[in-house]
Chains A and B, each alone.
Chain A
């Protein structure tokens, strides 16, 4: 008898692998270009301002080299504008997410995904490279382009999660999605390395490289992605398929549900893993896409969305401001700070995977989240008091990333997939992209509001208060998912009692 591990993997074909890798790397490239912007903030700020001098000394000459650009009089104004750009981006990203999820469930996922990737690449090219080559600096142009970028990028996440949800069913979803949701962090790492190695040629080349890469990714996705097994005549394995840990009563119960045990989803495919169903395809009606309000009212969507809003605020504040904080607070060079900020993402990758695995074994997700978030509050306290030593700082960063990035990755991927394919839908409605859009959209609104608050708090009260704000937000996210935690823990006690009764 084959070990559970091999059995687990045997159900996947090379199509699964390609779908995994394509969706993984398309989001990697997207996040890499997003990260580019945060990693070149210091250089862009230098480009927009004249040279700084004491009041008594004369300005440097020649003027073209030192004084000519004054989009902003000093670096404070430039920093504030960079924060405004972040906020604008996240708000338009949030608005776009609400729409794109709905669109993705109704249109061909491949086209939407490709359109988002390539369109966003073009806008980033104009924003970072073309403007610099033309030397045409304009505040309104920057804002307009970044709004457009947010709207285009929002098309990507719901589509990739939907494609993954199509290809990977309930069994092992926590682990597979945990591994897959590392894409955001891998993208951050890739973006950080690309930016820091190309930065010396000029920040415009960092934008050039990442946007061309992203465009190439869009092209590859267009030619290579199969959005669901149905496109090649395969069907998703039934919900009662092989799972890494067998539990008698649990194997038929969906991973996330507080409803009575359903008979099993009404998927047309039954028994076996893959059956080609050409004949029966016509009999089965194509699933309708769910309405926005209906999706919002699905059980679990609202609490997880609100919790994700708080969590994404903290996560994205680290994402956007970490290199800046490191170079301003500790005085390290920008390229060094970029490399150091990678450790947060490393922690996030490991956290997402490990916690996804644990939640698969337990069969419950909310308790895992709760424990991780409690420990995250401690990690934040520890990081805010980090000494200026780079090694210690990196270690603390990785720990913080583990405890914050883990739940964040889980909510945005595995849990969204759970919510979008839960029993309440009875498999007759396509809700995956819509639900993902709602969860991530609410998260982005929280993150957007947070960016402005972070720069406000920092300028008035300093970095310590910013960390205190993060701790409060983490606490809030625990509060929001408290009802779900209570329900799941009660269910766990019930099962344990039921099992001890049987023995």
Chain B
């Protein structure tokens, strides 16, 4: 075995370890949310129905998008945390792409305002009866209370609402929905940068190419006609 070959081996090993660790880190994050409490997705709940309908993979309390063997935080499409004896829900950001979330039958006192910020796909939210739908009733198509649970269904596009007249995005930006009761102002096409102030792409070559060329030409011309005959004074 030559030295080069052993170097290659070392590189492969290092790469393998790196992939394992990074993959493992995501795995532990996911495990944190999906295994927040014991048990798995109950049969007959909204999440399980949704999961079987979309052919998802059940892992602990999460329903994951079946995408080969990659387990990614992006792919939590359903979350069932019902009956978990949770008194506080702090961070659900790993499930930001979820369509259905179930938090019912938990002794939660109140929800953080920004808990569901960024949850653009959320169409079905089940909460304990004492809690209000995030963004108010006006942010949802259908709100109903059934016994101990509160159902919030169908996120409304806040940007289309006529009663939210104060939603004026600054110049060069448009309103895009960003979760129930949330919106973002993202730059219009071709505008970019801080406060969407910058438009287009500066043509560096077209400006500085001719400039450099003409500088060289003029310098040569002037040196020939002026300074070549200069005597030092």
Contact = CB atoms under 8 A, between A and B. Distances in A.
Interface residues of B, number: 41
A220 B218 contact: yes
Contact of A65 (B186, B215, B229): B186
A223 B207 contact: no
Contacts of A286: 233
B211 A216 contact: yes
Contacts of A212: 208, 211
A202 B227 CA distance: 40
Interface stretch (A228-236, A343-351, A441-449): A228-236
A57 interface: yes
A51 interface: yes
Contacts of B215: 216, 219-220
Given A18-B225, A232-B229, A65 B207 contact: no
Interface in B176-233: 178, 182-187, 193-202, 207-208, 211-212, 215, 218-223, 225-227, 229-233
B223 A66 contact: no
B182 A61 contact: yes
A114 B187 CA distance: 43
Given A66-B185, A226-B230, A200 B200 contact: yes
B55 interface: no
Nearest to A43: B197
A81 interface: no
Contacts of A61: 117, 178, 182-185
Contacts of A228: 233
Given A60-B170, A233-B231, A65 B187 contact: yes
A209 B207 contact: yes
B169 interface: yes
Contacts of B173: 65
A286 B186 CA distance: 69
Given A60-B185, A66-B170, A18 B233 contact: no
A198 B202 contact: yes
Contacts of B170: 51, 60, 66
A68 B195 CA distance: 10
A490 interface: no
A201 B184 CA distance: 23
Interface string B147-189: 0000000000000000000100110010000100011111100
Given A201-B202, A232-B229, A223 B186 contact: no
Interface string A201-234: 1100100010011001001101111101011110
Contacts of B227: 223-226
Contacts of B208: 212
A14 interface: yes
B218 A230 contact: no
B199 A230 contact: no
A65 B194 contact: yes
B219 A219 contact: yes
Contact of B195 (A46, A205, A213, A233): A46
A216 B233 CA distance: 26
A66 B195 contact: yes
Contacts of A201: 198-202
21 contacts: A15-B226, A51-B170, A51-B195, A60-B184, A61-B185, A65-B196, A68-B194, A200-B198, A201-B200, A202-B198, A202-B202, A205-B202, A219-B215, A222-B219, A223-B219, A223-B227, A226-B226, A228-B233, A230-B233, A231-B230, A286-B233
Interface of B: 117, 166, 169-170, 173, 178, 182-187, 193-202, 207-208, 211-212, 215, 218-223, 225-227, 229-233
